[in-house]
């Protein structure tokens, strides 16, 4: 039963995340052929996924909720294929802006994920955190 709950959470979360991605991309758009919308999505998604990971570990969130928020919402919100297409189009149409987009995303994305993990205050001992991290993986 729990597996079906997790699957349902991922399906619903994916639909919500995909819709949110389109809304943000349209709202932000692009600047001089730089895919700013996708860039903002990738960075905010990295931050939020880091935040979700830490919340899951520190507060022992249910697995179905973590799956619904992580692979579901964030998986629908940010995808490598969206990044790859945006990068290819930017590189083809404006090579220096495309290169800037790829480099900034590669550098700032992991930084945003790390920042997301730092937002959640520590409530567990380091040993408890390690144990929880082994149990909860996105």
CB contact at 8 A, 73 and 49: no
CB contact at 8 A, 19 and 82: no
pTM over 0.95: no
Predicted confidence at residue 124, as pLDDT, reads: 63
pLDDT band at 20 (very low <50, low <70, confident <90, very high): very high
């Amino acid at each position: 039963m729990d597996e079906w709950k997790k699957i349902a959470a991922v399906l619903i979360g994916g639909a919500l995340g995909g819709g949110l991605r389109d809304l943000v991309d349209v709202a932000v758009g692009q600047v001089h052929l730089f895919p700013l919308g996708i860039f903002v999505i990738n960075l905010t998604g990295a931050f939020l996924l880091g935040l979700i990971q830490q919340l899951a570990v520190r507060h022992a969130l249910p697995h179905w909720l973590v799956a619904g928020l992580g692979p579901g919402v964030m998986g629908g919100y940010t995808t490598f294929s969206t990044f790859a297409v945006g990068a290819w189009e930017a590189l083809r149409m404006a090579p220096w802006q495309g290169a800037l987009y790829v480099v900034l995303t590669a550098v700032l994305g992991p930084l945003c994920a790390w920042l997301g993990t730092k937002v959640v205050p520590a409530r567990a001992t380091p040993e408890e955190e390690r144990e929880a991290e082994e149990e909860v993986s996105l």
